[in-house]
């Protein structure tokens, strides 16, 4: 039957088993983990803000060297908090949004395959109805017409599904590559900024600047 060959072609279009490729359980789990990571980083930034505020309060109590030290460390925590907040925002934008996009694309592909499966069921039922009509020699023309319509509909949606899944695979790879490269570049940029900040702070605390 045409359905078997079409199924194999559609499966190969996504690089293997359709079910394995498109059911996004792992993506959903990764998205949840990513959301948890984002929340933890935002909580860390909030903690830094509270520490910076407390140190600033201590630093303004007097004009001793210890109080001046508290003010410098408070400034370090505040600047670090801003960097951590930007890192969390960038990761949320680049990675969490990427996983959300993949879930939407996967769901659209699953919906398409479901419609194809329904078309296959209708086609098989039309074949059975045609066999019965021929056996009874009654309403054969009507059954043949219906069978041809179902066959045409199934072949059309199979071809559409095959092309759509090929496009989906291409879009998926391109989207992951683009977002992961941009995320790595942003994290490298923030890491350099954090390093420069820490080096500057160490120099200030040592009294070099």
CATH number of residue 106's parent domain: 1.20.1270.60
Q: What is the pLDDT of residues 72-115, one digit of tens each?
A: 888 888 888 888 888 888 877 787 778 888 888 888 888 888 88
Spans in the chain with pLDDT lower than 70 = 1-36, 38, 207-209
Note the pLDDT of residue 128: 92
How many structural domains are present in the chain?
Answer: 1
Note the pLDDT of residue 19: 45
**pTM of the predicted model, to two decimals?**
0.57
In whole angstroms, give the CA distance from residue 158 to residue 9. Answer: 9
Residue 182's contacts (CB-CB under 8 Å, 6 or more residues apart) are: 94
Residue 20 domain flag: no
| Contact status, residue 188 vs residue 179, Cβ threshold 8 Å | no
Residue 68 domain flag: yes
The 8-class DSSP code of residue 116 comes to H
Residue 12 domain flag: no
Q: Domain range holding 189?
A: 25-206
Residue 8 domain flag: no
Note the pLDDT of residue 33: 64
DSSP string, 155-171: HHHHHHHHHHHHHHHHH
In whole angstroms, give the CA distance from residue 200 to residue 111. Answer: 55
Note the pLDDT of residue 209: 45
Residue 9 domain flag: no
Ramachandran category for residue 167: left, alpha or beta (phi over 0 → left; psi -120 to 50 → alpha): alpha
Note the pLDDT of residue 151: 92
Note the pLDDT of residue 29: 63
Note the pLDDT of residue 121: 92
Rounded to a whole number of angstroms, the distance between the first and last alpha carbons of the chain is 81
């Amino acid at each position: 039957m045409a359905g078997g060959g079409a199924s194999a072609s559609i499966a190969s279009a996504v690089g293997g088993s359709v079910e394995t490729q498109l059911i996004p359980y792992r993506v959903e789990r990764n998205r949840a983990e990513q959301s948890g990571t984002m929340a933890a980083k935002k909580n860390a930034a909030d903690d830094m803000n509270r520490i910076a505020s407390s140190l600033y309060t201590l630093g303004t109590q007097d004009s001793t060297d210890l109080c001046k030290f508290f003010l410098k460390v408070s400034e370090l925590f505040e600047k670090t908090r801003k960097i951590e907040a930007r890192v969390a925002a960038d990761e949320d934008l680049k990675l969490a949004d990427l996983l959300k996009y993949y879930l939407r694309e996967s769901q659209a592909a699953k919906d398409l395959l479901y419609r194809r499966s329904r078309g296959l069921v209708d086609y098989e039922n039309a074949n059975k109805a045609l066999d019965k009509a021929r056996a009874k020699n009654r309403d054969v023309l009507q059954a043949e017409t219906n069978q041809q319509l179902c066959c045409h509909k199934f072949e059309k949606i199979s071809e559409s599904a095959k092309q759509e899944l090929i496009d989906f695979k291409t879009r998926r790879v391109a989207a992951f590559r683009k977002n992961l490269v941009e995320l790595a570049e942003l994290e490298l940029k923030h890491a350099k900024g954090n390093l420069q900040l820490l080096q500057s702070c160490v120099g200030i605390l040592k009294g070099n600047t």
